[in-house]
Chain A
Amino acid sequence: MIRVEDLAIVLPGFALEDINLQVDPGEAFALLGPTGAGKTLLLEAIIGVVPVTRGRIFIDGCNLTGLPPERRRIGILYQDHALFPHLDVAENIAYGQRYCTSVLPDLGPLIERLGLQRLLKRRIHSLSGGEKQRVALARSLAVAPSVLLLDEPLTALDPNFREDIRGLLKTLHQDTGITLLMVTHDFAEAHFMAQRTAVMNRGRIEQVGPVDAIFDRPETPFVADFVGMKNFFPAVIEGHDAIIGNMRLRCTSQDGDFHAVAIRPENIRVRKGPFDGGTENYLEGKLKRILNRGFYADVRVDVDGIPFRAIDTRRHLNRTALAEGDTVHLAIAPEDIHLMRGLRQQRQRLIG
């Protein structure tokens, strides 16, 4: 188990503040956030190479805050593998064996499990990205760490290896029950690997919770944007209605003091002609831009001065011959309108 209490790290030009986190025994937990959010810094504080300004770090109930890395029994897996280039595969895997008292008695099963039998005498520079990551994983697990930290372990891999390693990490976690704390900026990766996640931004944790809850119910504008709710508008909530400027959108009732709404682009339907009547919200606007994203397109529509972003398939756009400048119709289901606290309330919540 990992517990971080009131952690702060103050560096010139950057600070981690008020970090409180608990990863339960055997849990896979993801730290999400954009580049520069402070995720790797937090990981390096947990492993013990970055001194903390305030706060405490516990592993399995022991306060490790002042201990050097070699006494923490925490494994780490970096995205660039950090393999020792002057040692061969076998020497890399066995590196920690002479230092740790609680090592795996026999590395054979681990090596076999990771498919490294034929690579043991190979030099590091001759391995592929996926092979390197498997060697790094074997090296970390060979000393039987109490927790394993993963610093964007899949980012540097090409798509074929990424699938392999992702599946391998998942099954290893399920089989060994080791506690995993994983840093990533990819929500899909977190969704696949982790049970819970924390979203970080500018040195602070914005939201902690189960992955699905964060995906469906973001609490801050940043988290909403991060999980793909690209339409975020300040709004006045009156009963079942959200009033955005002159526009009134029907939404499902939710308890709370809400001052904003967020809508996923994929939940906004766009067409040229009007929709047949129904229970959805129907809007009319002008198609401002169509941005090609490969199989789909990012569609920007202006409705009474309010910019909406929708996603549509290339096929549908081509079939309906939508073009920039057209008058278009939007449909949004009430249940797809997510009510949120406003910016002022968010700020108060963070300060409070």
Chain B
Amino acid sequence: MSKTTDDALPLPSPGSGCCRVDPFLGIALAASAIIMAFILLPLVEMVVQPSVDDLRETWSDPDVIRAIGMSLYTSGTAALIAFVFGTPFAYLMARKQFPGKRLVESVVDLPIMIPHPVVGIALLSMAGRHHWFGRILNQLNIQIMGTVTGIVCVLTFVGLPFYINAVKTGFEAVPARLETVSRSLGASPWSTFFRITLPLAWRSMLVGLIMCMARAVSEFGAVVIVAYHPMVAPVMIYERFTAYGLKYSQPVAVGLIMVCLVLFLLLRWASPRKDGTA
């Protein structure tokens, strides 16, 4: 008698291992749980520790509102500057091949790697009166030390790589052939950019803007060197912690966490979809 398929390939009997968790999946799940706990526990602890009265009192403090507002204003301005100058730069990096391109890409990534107080120190040393650039700024009546301009400068510096890299990836996802076809149909490079490339890459630009702003809003190291005042939220948290302790810094930190949370929810909403639209 010939063997049936069932004879040749016996099905696993119930309880014989069909429900056993794959070890690889088990390790991955355990690692994921540890990471989620590592990120969430301190934040949840921070959010739940202050009493409602503490939160209400802190958030009605004009200094706190002003500091969070200043953080949003300066980081938003930094994101806008990144948008204006970073978009053409990112397009160039996405579309053109040239000698030294990898070096330029590395330079763009430098602000991510160098310690941020160094950024503040470098900017201050350039803006000083003994430096030619500082003298030019002085003649133009532009102050860096202790000004909003200074804060925007350092926030742009630390946020730019996030914007440029996100937008470059978005432009790369738009096939160059679409631009070739557009131009073969008579559209100029400008028309092609605004009618083809931009509509297909706008989500990446939005992601880049939010990434840049989120990075800038959380910056402390570079800002504290360049401008302790006007005070941004991270500097205020640091000041309250050193002057009054944990209890007084936490409610401000909760406010900042909420702002960051909103930014990242926006980021998730605007992220490129799986169907490939950038």
Q: Which residues of B lie under 8 Å from residue A100 when comparing CB positions?
A: 185-186
Given A84-B196, A86-B199, A99-B191, residue A143 in contact with residue B178 (CB < 8 A): no
Q: Which residues of B lie under 8 Å from residue A76 when comparing CB positions?
A: 180-181, 184
Q: Which residues of B lie under 8 Å from residue A72 when comparing CB positions?
A: 184
CA distance A75 to B185 in the complex (A): 7
How far in angstroms is the closest Cβ of chain B from A255?
A: 45
CA distance A74 to B177 in the complex (A): 14
A49/B183 in contact, CB under 8 A: yes
Q: Which residues of A lie under 8 Å from residue B180 when comparing CB positions?
A: 44, 47, 49, 69, 76, 82
Instruction: Tell me whether chain B's interface is mostly helix, strand or loop, or mixed.
Output: helix
Contact indicator per residue, chain A 92-108, by CB within 8 Å of chain B (1) or not (0): 00011011100000000
Let me know if A70 is at the binding interface, CB within 8 A: yes
CB contact list, B189-235 vs A, under 8 A: 189, 191, 195-196, 199-200
CA distance A133 to B196 in the complex (A): 19
A69/B277 in contact, CB under 8 A: no
Q: Which residues of B lie under 8 Å from residue A82 when comparing CB positions?
A: 175, 177-178, 180-181
How far in angstroms is the closest Cβ of chain B from A19?
A: 20
CA distance A140 to B180 in the complex (A): 12
Q: Which residues of A lie under 8 Å from residue B182 when comparing CB positions?
A: 84, 95
CB contact list, B105-128 vs A, under 8 A: none
Q: Which residues of A lie under 8 Å from residue B6 when comparing CB positions?
A: none
Let me know if A232 is at the binding interface, CB within 8 A: no
Of the candidates B184, B189, B199, the one whose C-beta lies within 8 Å of that of A74 is B184
Let me know if A85 is at the binding interface, CB within 8 A: yes
How far in angstroms is the closest Cβ of chain B from A39?
A: 15
Q: Which residues of B lie under 8 Å from residue A47 when comparing CB positions?
A: 180, 184
Residue tally, chain B, CB below 8 Å to A: 20
Let me know if A134 is at the binding interface, CB within 8 A: no
Let me know if A264 is at the binding interface, CB within 8 A: no
**Which of chain B's residues has its CB closest to A136's CB?**
B181
Let me know if B188 is at the binding interface, CB within 8 A: yes
How far in angstroms is the closest Cβ of chain A from B180?
A: 5
Let me know if A80 is at the binding interface, CB within 8 A: yes
Q: Which residues of A lie under 8 Å from residue B275 when comparing CB positions?
A: 125
How far in angstroms is the closest Cβ of chain A from B4?
A: 31
Let me know if B187 is at the binding interface, CB within 8 A: yes
Let me know if A308 is at the binding interface, CB within 8 A: no
How far in angstroms is the closest Cβ of chain B from A117?
A: 22
CA distance A139 to B186 in the complex (A): 12
Q: Which residues of B lie under 8 Å from residue A99 when comparing CB positions?
A: 185-188, 191
Contact indicator per residue, chain A 6-46, by CB within 8 Å of chain B (1) or not (0): 00000000000000000000000000000000000000100
B178/A70 in contact, CB under 8 A: no
Most central of B180, B181, B277 by chain A CB within 10 Å: B181
A residues lining the B interface (CB < 8 Å) = 44, 47-49, 68-70, 72, 74-76, 78, 80, 82, 84-86, 95-96, 98-100, 125, 139-140, 143, 145
B residues lining the A interface (CB < 8 Å) = 175, 177-178, 180-189, 191, 195-196, 199-200, 275, 277
Q: Can you offer 15 A-B residue contacts whose CB atoms are under 8 A?
A: A44-B180, A47-B180, A49-B183, A69-B184, A70-B183, A70-B185, A72-B184, A74-B184, A86-B200, A95-B195, A96-B185, A99-B186, A99-B188, A143-B185, A145-B184
List 17 additional contacts besides A68-B183, A84-B196; criterion CB under 8 Å: A68-B188, A69-B184, A70-B184, A70-B186, A74-B184, A75-B184, A76-B181, A82-B177, A84-B181, A85-B200, A86-B199, A86-B200, A86-B277, A95-B195, A98-B186, A99-B191, A143-B186
